[in-house]
Every structure is written in C-alpha cells, then in structure tokens.
Structure 1
C-alpha cells in the first residue's frame, strides 16, 4: 500500500514545493498519496496547484488531495509534515517592532529570545490540537516537525504527547557542513562529521577526511582572510574551539555578547531585523508562484534542497539507512544537558524507525552555552503546560540576549505588551498581563 504523507500548513508555497520535489525524486515515492491541509482556503488551493505542477515536472503520479478539515486530512496518515506558522507575517512583524521600541535587537526572532518565546506560545495550542487529532486517527504516524521554535516545539510535544513519534528536522547542520567544506575546498561527500547540541546551537565536534582532522585547514583559511573573522560564528569558534551549526545572524541571538553593543553589530556585520525582510520576501514569492501557476502546467524542481523529511520517509519505507541530525527529547543522549528537553543528535533512520545516537558529554564550554539556551525553552514550555503567565516573564528574564539588553522592569512590560498584541493567538491561560 502506498504511504500517505500529510503536509500541515501546506500554504507555505516555497517549502511545499521543495518538499514535494524531493519526495517525488525518489522512484519508490513517485506514487505516494499526498494530502495538503491549510486553514487559508486560497493558500490551500495554491498548494494543490503547486503539488500537481511539481508532479508533472517530475513525471510522477502521486494522488494529491487538498482537505480543509485537519482531522479528515490526517485520517490514515503515515507521515505528517508540520510547516505551520501561526499568525503569519503580521505576528512576526509584531515580534520585532514591539521589542525594538524597548531597544531590544533581534535578527531572526524564531528560536529563543523574546520572538522565539512568543512564537512558541502561539504555536503550542495548534500543536496540542494536531497531537490530539493524530492520537484519534493516525496514532502510529510520524510527526516530522519543521516549525520553529524547534527546541520548544519538540519539548512541548514530548511533555503533552509522549506517545507520539516526533522528529524535529532542520537543515542547519547540513548547510553548515556544506559551507565549511566550500571554505576549505574539500568535497562534502568526502568528509565525515559528528555534531550535537541543541537546534540552531549544535557544535561540529569532529570533522574529518580520510581520518585527518579538517579543523586545522579551517584555521589556516580564517588566518588568511581577516574578513572571515568578522562573522559571529567564526568569532565563537575561535573562542570556544568548536564551530556552531547555525548562521551568524541566528547565533548572535542566543548569547549576551553581540547584539546589545553597536560596535559589535558593526564589526560582525549583523543585519538587525533580517527575518522581517525574509518574511516579506516569502509573501512576495507566494504571490509570484501563484501568478506563475496561471501561465504554466509544470514547475521547475529544485533538486538541491536536500531536506531531511523526504530522506526520512524514504528510509522508513525502503529500509535505506541514513544518518541525519534530528531533534529528539533528551533521554541520556547528551549526558551534560538536562533530560526531558529537546536536543539535536545524529540519528540513524532505517526500516525499523529512528535511532538517536548517544553522544555522552559535550565539551563543557559548549554544554554551558546550550544550558543557557535551554533555560528559556524549559520555562516557556512550563508556562504553557502549567498555565502560568509568570513563567513567560521568567523565560524572558533568563534569555541571554534579552537579559543583557533590558532591565527586569522593561522585560516585564515588554511581555505584557506582546501578550496584549498577540491576544487570542496565545493559550487562554497566558493571555492576561501580570501585575507585580
């Protein structure tokens, strides 16, 4: 029987197109059943047109169905790919504009930080509904989550639906290794590597070619080009000894050292508010693709996206073994990070399932930063699970960039302002402002 793949939030046109292009590139998956779901009727219609045009271009013959009712869409699913963005561009814009009024700078704002905290709080109610629906109609399905904040979302799902099979998937490790190999002019397919930590702040612990450490080549490359040192993650690597697996813009938000200092922002060429522009570009791309679909029958397939979800599905269906970076609730996988919170570790995927690999202890300096990252994660999830709005403020107070930039009174008032602004997108128990 052909597998059923459900995409929740399929109106994310660019991502849906890339995922389907990758899925249909596998001969064994060319006749899968694809179910598309979105709460926006126009975007759902566009997603269906994208799916059919992509299939034509691939020469594939999947069964494509668009269903507006989520419970019906999930019936009989084998794989559920979650790409929702609760509140869309308008909520993202609020996550940047309101903190900026207080002097709090962000670049991407979707992982931790004040933006990540409130994005998580907007997303949790929908995740709870998806988990409940899956328990009813597809309890054995895999939930493949792409939605940020990844660590918060995977931790939350582990807390409210521990029976659910969840993998958090992010391409940051792959593209980090691709970029590092390009820097030293070594083909990616000739290297082996081992990375672990938390999503958007994992660490390249080993990086080798033919058994030889490649870090000395990176050191020589950085020494030969002073401009390379003007990037956050190169700066972090030189000071910590291990390269972080997310972009400089992302990495700057998870530590207290950079964004509050104008000289550091300039030195490290940081783009304040970058994601607002990316979000606007995504909206424009959606409009462009929708117009393109009126003129063509097929859409060009991007074969370079190398997303993990299609690989996971292919491995589970065919037994082809693969090792990917996956986000999973820690259960002794990284021994100097807390259990019960999401970590990112090498994971073998085959016909028998997903098998996260035990990493043991991270280098102490890496684990220390990861623990400061996980503080806001844990408190935000606890706030939602316990219905305690004070824990939202506590999450912001222990967030590294927020704490370095604002006073505690400012943090408290900022959380009140964002709570009011996001209104009924937040869990009902967390919608009140909190008096001291």
Structure 2
C-alpha cells in the first residue's frame, strides 16, 4: 500500500492531550506531513480545542511550508470517516462521571480497585457502555471507509477487540497499548542498559502479557534483574516484581494495574500496605487529564504556544509502515486464531506483529509457560462472558462475568456480587444497550 497523503480519522479527538501526542508522532515522519487529519468528537468545545491544537502542532512541526497536513473538524462522525485510510479510536464513553461511578458504587461494597479499566467490575461496565459505540462506529466504517484500518486505544482493550471481531464484519482491526514498550524501557533503565540495545519478546493478553525473553548482546538479562531484586527490598514492594518472583516472567503492566487481575493483593490490608497499592488511583489520573485539557484550551485562547512531545505510540508507526512499506515490529492486540496455543481461540491476545505495506501481520508465539497461561485463561474467560452478555442480550452473563473475575470473587460473596451488578446497571442504565438494563436480584 502506497499513500502519498493518507486520511487519518481521530474518533474521540476531544481526548486532546492524547491526540496531541499522536499528532506529534505522526508528523515526525516526513512522509506523513501531507496527511489529512480529520477530527471528530461529540463535545463541541473539546473538538474545537483539538482542532486548534492540531493546527498549531502542524504549523510547528512542518514549518508552515507547502507540505503540511490538512486539518478538518467534524461534529458528524461519518464526515470524519468518509474515505479514511486509518481510524484511530480513543473514545471514553461517559467520561469522568461514569468512571467515578465505576469506583464509588463498588467501594460501597468494600471492593477495592486501583485503575478499573480492564477487568473487574470497572472493566465490565466500561466495556458494556463502550460496545454500543463500537458497533455503530464499525457500521459507519463498513459503509464509508471499508478498507480502513481501525486502530483502537480505548479500554478495556481485549474485550473491545473481541467484541469488534464477533459483533461486526471488520477484519482490519488491531488494539494498541504502550505497556510492552514502556515495561521493557523501564527494565532497561533499571538494569543500566541502553533500551535500544535490548532484545525482547513478550506475549499474553493486554495488561497481563509476559516478557518471555529479555537480552542484551545475546546475554539473558533476567539473572541481573534477579540480583537487583534480591539486593533491594524496596523493589520487592512492587506487585509485578512480586508476581515475577513467583511466576518467573515479568508482567507487562504497572503494579497498580496488575494487582486488579489476580485475587492475591487488594483484598488483604497487609498486602495493600506492603505493596503500596493506591486505591482509586485512576480517579486522580482522570482529574489530571481534565486539568491538562483545560490548560491546553486556555493556552489556545491566550495564544500561548503548546508544549508537545512525541509519545512513541504504535499507531503512527503502523500508519507509516503501511503507507510507505517500511517494515517494523509492534505489539498488537488481535484475535488469537492459533497465535498462542494454550489460550482460547476466541480471546484477544497481545503478540508481536510485523507491519509493512501488506498491513498488520501477527506473529505465532506457540505455547506460553503454563503458569502464565493459567492466569491469562482466567482473564479471557471473564472477557468472554462480558462479550456474550452483549452479543446475546443476556444480563445474567454480566453477573457471571463478575463472579468469574478473580479480584471480585476474592472480595465478595456471590449474593453481594449480584447486588453490586444490579446497582451498577441502575447507575449506568442510560449508557447500556436496552437488553442489559434489567436488575435480577439474587
């Protein structure tokens, strides 16, 4: 595929800080500086802010010369999508109010969450309110830009990709997350090795993949990591270091995230203290994101230059590779379909993907270590029940998903799990598909 000026649609462009970073990455490639950037958001103020930021970034990074991107803003999604070559999805359905509900209602039941966007009760209901938007987005793509690649950043990643795969006819879909890249980069910094010299392979599921190989100049770096951990008691006060010590492979997401996907930590006061787990941390992140958006909005109004740096995200790299035929490897979330032998075929897995002019091509990994696959299967089993709930309009599957979730099951008896799901359904009812709005009691 060779495109001289690809059209790239940003859906949820009102996530202005993330949009800015992606644009900085895109326009760092000279071949993409003539792209058409089409922005869409349902919030008019946020859309206007995104447009203003995009124009300023474009002027700065292209020097205002003849080769510069065309930036358009669209209140109607289909207008942004029309004839697009790439669609970047960064929507967050319900924004801060829905996220606060995801934390406040479970907290009344004594259920602790740190991030709440991938598994658990927070992840379940974030998925269920996102699925209707994904379905309508996919329908629009099928009609107005059927050959486009959908690059999804919206969480819960694995559930969203499975739903898109099973509920729509789209095949050019890949989920993107920076956790593998930043995990390896952080490990390189910890070990004092230039990150660009580190060879690695990871695989698993989003936010719970495993660093299967970590090498520098042909030497295994895991023994050096073991010594660092043995010599530093503060390192041992991290959830993912604790998991690595017990499972033998380093997990690819932060301790805050990792603590929510297993039953061992959040339910125990002693573990929360030992591992310094920040309950409700994501609420602070949401507030920081809103403050950053308001700062950008105000800076544009005052004519103050924006400070924007590249983010090393995968979507711009994918777009560049497909557009120019330049081969590179990224990590993508895709349907399993034989990529990892000991995980369910219907699940979404995170694996290395070759990207070039032919598109995104996932790499077969084979079997994961048994202990890693066991945790991933639990994760994917819960995901499958959430997707079944939406596909089959079955509210019981929501409760069964929560029963299957490791951290929820460790904290609450089954009757309380059903009561909690009823309260969550009531709180989010206007964002759920109609068939899932029923309360079931015990």
Instruction: Using structure 1 for the length normalisation, give the TM-score.
Output: 0.99
1:41 to 40, 44, 60: 44
Partner of 2:188, secondary structure, is: helix
Q: Distance in 2 between matches of 1:385 and 1:161?
A: 11
Matched, 1:20 2:27: no
* Contact kept in structure 1, 2:164 and 2:170, CA below 8 Å: no
Q: Distance in 2 between matches of 1:314 and 1:411?
A: 46
Partner of 1:415, secondary structure, is: helix
1:30 to 17, 29, 33: 33
Residue number in structure 1 paired with 2:79? 72
Partner of 2:185, secondary structure, is: helix
Residue number in structure 1 paired with 2:270? 263
Matched, 1:370 2:376: yes
Partner of 1:250, secondary structure, is: helix
Q: Distance in 1 between matches of 2:165 and 2:136?
A: 14
* Contact kept in structure 2, 1:57 and 1:301, CA below 8 Å: no
CA deviation profile, 1:209-228 (whole Å, cap 9, x unmatched): 11110001101111121100
Residue number in structure 1 paired with 2:326? 320
Residue number in structure 2 paired with 1:6? 9
Q: Distance in 2 between matches of 1:59 and 1:136?
A: 33
Query: Root-mean-square deviation (CA), in Å?
Result: 0.9
* Contact kept in structure 2, 1:57 and 1:299, CA below 8 Å: no
Residue number in structure 2 paired with 1:148? 155
* Contact kept in structure 2, 1:14 and 1:286, CA below 8 Å: yes
Once the two structures are TM-superposed, the CA of residue 164 in structure 1 deviates from its matched residue by: 2.9
Range moving further from structure 2, 420-429 or 388-397: 420-429
Unaligned runs of 5+ in 2: none
Map 1:263-282; keep pairs closer than 5 Å: 263-282=270-289
Once the two structures are TM-superposed, the CA of residue 297 in structure 1 deviates from its matched residue by: 6.0
Matched, 1:134 2:137: no
Matched, 1:358 2:364: yes
Residue number in structure 1 paired with 2:315? 309
Q: Distance in 2 between matches of 1:355 and 1:119?
A: 28
CA deviation profile, 1:88-125 (whole Å, cap 9, x unmatched): 00000000000000000000000011000000000000
Residue number in structure 2 paired with 1:50? 53
1:405 to 400, 411, 416: 411
Once the two structures are TM-superposed, the CA of residue 163 in structure 1 deviates from its matched residue by: 3.4
Once the two structures are TM-superposed, the CA of residue 56 in structure 1 deviates from its matched residue by: 1.6
Q: Distance in 2 between matches of 1:203 and 1:317?
A: 30
Once the two structures are TM-superposed, the CA of residue 284 in structure 1 deviates from its matched residue by: 1.0
Partner of 1:196, secondary structure, is: strand
CA deviation profile, 1:202-252 (whole Å, cap 9, x unmatched): 000001111110001101111121100000000000000000000000000
Once the two structures are TM-superposed, the CA of residue 428 in structure 1 deviates from its matched residue by: 1.1
Residue number in structure 2 paired with 1:246? 253
Residue number in structure 2 paired with 1:395? 401
Once the two structures are TM-superposed, the CA of residue 300 in structure 1 deviates from its matched residue by: 2.5
Map 1:226-241; keep pairs closer than 5 Å: 226-241=233-248
* Contact kept in structure 1, 2:157 and 2:175, CA below 8 Å: yes
* Contact kept in structure 1, 2:422 and 2:441, CA below 8 Å: no
Aligned length: 435
Q: Distance in 2 between matches of 1:90 and 1:319?
A: 43
CA deviation profile, 1:134-180 (whole Å, cap 9, x unmatched): 00000110000000000000000010124331010000000000100
* Contact kept in structure 1, 2:211 and 2:250, CA below 8 Å: yes
Q: Distance in 1 between matches of 2:62 and 2:330?
A: 28
Once the two structures are TM-superposed, the CA of residue 274 in structure 1 deviates from its matched residue by: 0.1
* Contact kept in structure 2, 1:131 and 1:164, CA below 8 Å: no
Map 1:158-173; keep pairs closer than 5 Å: 158-173=165-180
* Contact kept in structure 2, 1:56 and 1:297, CA below 8 Å: no
Structure 1 runs of 4+ off > 3 angstroms?
none
Matched, 1:349 2:355: yes
Instruction: Using structure 2 for the length normalisation, give the TM-score.
Output: 0.97
Once the two structures are TM-superposed, the CA of residue 343 in structure 1 deviates from its matched residue by: 0.3
Q: Distance in 2 between matches of 1:435 and 1:418?
A: 12
Matched, 1:103 2:110: yes
Residue number in structure 2 paired with 1:432? 438
CA deviation profile, 1:372-422 (whole Å, cap 9, x unmatched): 111210000000000000000000000000000001011000000000001
